């Protein structure tokens, strides 16, 4: 089932983007005519990449996906949805521990903008343990993150570390 002419947002910190994020994005493209990955500019503990760098990196790794846009936002996602005529928010779930937080967020978003649905998607079984936080930790200690991030991401992070 595809929602013709329906636009969705996929918000997150994406610091950095992982293969789990791309898994959720690619499967979501089966349902929506356009998806905008929205880099949240809120205060994140120890961000590795600036919001602008995250936007550039995501644009690079999603450049072959024609119906994907990338944007940055520092306000409420429901305001973004209202301003951009968005009908759904996509959220990925890795484990049961994600659900409570995401459920509360979706409930509040529904209060703020009842015209926008939140869709939860489970990550593929071989990626459920991957998070941006873990990827950053492994990277900072010199571990190999190539199995967990899109091609080109490691080079971005190495360049950032050299700066």
pLDDT, one tens digit per residue, over 80-118 is 999 999 999 999 998 777 788 889 999 999 999 999 999
Q: pLDDT band for position 160 (50/70/90)?
A: confident
Task: From the candidates 6, 84, 94, 160, give the one annotated as an active-site residue.
Answer: 94
Cβ pair 120, 93 in contact under 8 A: yes
Helix axes 132-140, 153-162, angle to 10 degrees: 50
In the chain, the domains with their CATH numbers are 3-162 (3.40.50.620)
Task: From the candidates 43, 45, 66, 125, give the one annotated as an active-site residue.
Answer: 45
Write the CA distances from 124 to 11, 20, 23, 26, 80, integer angstroms. Answer: 19, 7, 7, 11, 28
- Catalytic, 132? Answer yes
- Catalytic, 21? Answer yes
| Residue 108 backbone zone (phi > 0: left; psi -120 to 50: alpha; other: beta) | alpha
pTM confidence score: 0.91
Q: Give the ranges where the chain is alpha helix by DSSP (H).
A: 19-28, 51-61, 77-83, 96-112, 132-140, 153-162
Task: From the candidates 13, 28, 131, 132, give the one annotated as an active-site residue.
Answer: 132
- Catalytic, 84? Answer no
């Amino acid at each position: 089932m595809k929602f013709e002419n329906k636009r969705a947002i996929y918000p997150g910190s994406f610091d950095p983007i992982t293969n789990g994020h791309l898994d959720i994005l690619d499967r979501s493209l089966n349902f929506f005519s356009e998806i905008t990955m929205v880099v949240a500019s809120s205060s994140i503990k120890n961000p590795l990449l600036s919001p602008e760098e995250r936007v550039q990196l995501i644009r690079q790794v999603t450049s072959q996906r024609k119906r994907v846009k990338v944007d940055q936002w520092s306000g409420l996602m429901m305001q973004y949805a209202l301003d951009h005529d968005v009908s759904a928010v996509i959220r990925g779930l890795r484990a049961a521990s994600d659900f409570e937080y995401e459920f509360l967020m979706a409930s509040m978003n529904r209060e703020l903008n009842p015209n926008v649905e939140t869709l939860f998607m489970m990550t593929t079984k071989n990626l459920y343990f991957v998070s941006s936080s873990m990827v950053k930790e492994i990277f900072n200690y010199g571990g190999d993150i190539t199995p967990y991030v899109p091609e080109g991401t490691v080079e971005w992070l190495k360049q950032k570390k050299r700066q």
